[in-house]
Amino acid sequence: MNDQVSASKEVIQKMFKLFPDYLFAKVSYANMLIDAGEIVRAIEVFQHKTDLNQLYPERKVFHFTEVASYFGTLCRYYTAMDNINLADAYMHFLIKNNMSSLSGQSVANLAMTELCIAKIAKLDAL
């Protein structure tokens, strides 16, 4: 299992190095950084841009899987930064647009789970 995780990380790093402008390379790398606790570096992957139109101004259309992965990653980032309000805004978008129920949206589902856990922890602390 550890060999698979290591191999996966190597592929993610290589993909990001070879294709730094590819959104899924950015999303994968940013999520790997979040998982490693390198939260601040995760937003740097997106040049601190929190909207796809800012990140890719030349594009006018995005596939739903791109949006769900990107917004899920930003939800994870803001949850890890303990900015529950911003994380919640991204989660609300995912829910409103039924993006968490799409197949292959593990990032969106993970983001929503982590945010719910963070919200419960905040309530328990009251």
Query: What integer pLDDT is reported at residue 126 of this predicted model?
Result: 82
Burial tier of 60 (Cβ tally within 10 Å: 0-12, 13-18, 19+): exposed
Identify the residue whose tokens are 């570096």.
41
The domains of the chain, with CATH numbers, are: 2-125 (1.25.40)
Query: What integer pLDDT is reported at residue 104 of this predicted model?
Result: 60
Cα–Cα–Cα angle for 7, 118, 24, rounded to 5 degrees: 35
Average pLDDT per consecutive 10 residues, the chain (126 residues; last block may be shorter): 80 96 97 96 96 95 93 96 96 87 75 92 87
Give the global pTM: 0.90
What angle in degrees, to the nearest 10, is found between the helix axes of 64-80 and 84-96? 160
